[in-house]
Structure 1
Amino acid sequence: MSSPVQNPAYSRDQQPVALSQKVTLRKEEQAWQLLEQGRFHEAAPLYQRILHTRKRDAAGWNNLGYCLLKMGEAKEALACYQEALKLAPRDAGILINTGLCYQRLGQWQEACRCFQRASQYGARDADLLNNIGVCLAQLNRIEEAIKFYHQALALAPRQGEIIANLAAALVQGRRWLEAIECLEMALRLLPADVSVLNNAATCLEALGKYYLAAPLYARALALQPGDLQVRLNYAACLMKLSRLEEAREVLEELLRLDPRHGDGWQLLGALYDAMGEPETAACCYNRAWGLTPTREEGRKG
């Protein structure tokens, strides 16, 4: 069966939290202004100089972490947030930021712990509950994730990303009819979201509605032609509809984008089998199983 696509790790609206502080020194005031203006590459060195002489400044460590995270330096940001947490272990904002860093690094268990601690210390908004749900879904604790998504939606009933994440969890839990209802709502709110389109098509396939699934995959690919998982799902759906030539074109493009895509070669082999071309199918299976080198490997040999 086709595979669901994971939704964004956290709400697109949620940003790391910069802590306000009473500014008395010119250097601190300048760093804060640069941070507020989004000039993170300039603010970060200032915070580093401030912290060189004031190492027990939790807000300073947090704000340096904020700058580094916005600059894409998640590991360095995490180290700063950990320093801040040593000084302010119950600060919900710092805990949320630390959780966001762990999410960026794919460390879902640690992220979940941080978000849950933030909730224990008073933070209780839809984005935080959504983030806990995402971590639980990544840890394959699907039923727990669904509960947190429902709690988040009670606070923000029309937030599309949360609805989409709930739908993805319902797909993972194979609760198809509930997932379809959720996905219909998500598609109204996020009509150009590739993951929502893919997951809606996945549900329709599970219900045997291949003719309805195929156009959704096509829409998703039109929006994001380089998405290999959606492309593979689309080809598999076209094969179920006996639209073999179209499926072949979709798979050939997938393998042009990624010549080592084992699942792509496997499915192309199955397609050639269905078309009555066993020799070509065997070549594809050999590529899938790594028995035939790619052109690049052949040249190296």
Structure 2
Amino acid sequence: MVELTFDLPAGPLVSKDLAPTTIRQRTWNLWHIASLWVGMSVCIPTYMLASSMISAGLSWRQSVLAVVLGNLIVLVPMMITAHAGTRYGIPFPVFARAAFGTRGAHLPSLLRAVVACGWFGIQTWIGGLAMNAFIGILWPGWQTMGGDLKFMGYGVPEYLSFLLFWFINLYFVWAGTESIKWLETLSAPILILLGIWLLLWAASRVGGVGTLLREADALESARESLPTGEFVRTLFIPWLTAMVGYWATLSLNIPDFTRYARSQRDQAIGQALGLMTTMPLFAFVGVAVTSATVILYGQAIWNPVDLLARLTAESGNA
């Protein structure tokens, strides 16, 4: 690991955020890196990921396999790119200068930022819907705010929840990387336990994991059986490519995080442990719990927010 031993001269290419981290600042151990990936992987889009593949014609086994292979493929360039961040303590915009030059590096940095804005918007909207459901449980009157006023199919509570969740995200952006480290380390075990609890809940309600898996097979869309070659070419490969694309952009700017790693071992094993376990597990949890909803409610409820609302309504009527 390399540490800068002199102060950088002032200029347009240098700022506090772009300066290499010192050895003292590189405090993220294996668990911190793994927790980062747990926090990014255990989310509603991951939960609903397999549903898209099953709707397209893949079985649940093929869907989970696509998740595993896609993550394994993208993990390779991610570890290679992360190496520079850990070794030199530099973020992605600085690392990009090696290939694009000091001026040309602005282009990949801006393109990455545009994609990040889109993904941030998607995640924030989904998080806002989850927060809306949560607030509605604690305060039933919340859902009646604004009356029948709607815009694009959503009412005042949904948009207020979106803004609230947005402001919470902005706090952690403002507080910096150490706040993300603290949040992910705290939330990782909770998220894992919640995923396991969901799986156990689903199994207990329908009579075991075997029943869940049989129903999961039934979720597969009815379609004519395709020859193996055509299936791989028209279904599996496109979805595998989509899975690679799921984290492809982060494989570019992963040095933004690994510049704080204590060692190459911590960043490499931490990434492999966090990504290759939680992503497939949570995708499977989504399939299993959805299979339970088919048995319990006669319909597939893929969105956990909708499932939460259904369970809340049941408990309120009990």
Q: TM-score, normalised by structure 1?
A: 0.22
Q: Which has the higher helix share?
A: 2
Larger Rg: 1
Q: TM-score, normalised by structure 2?
A: 0.21
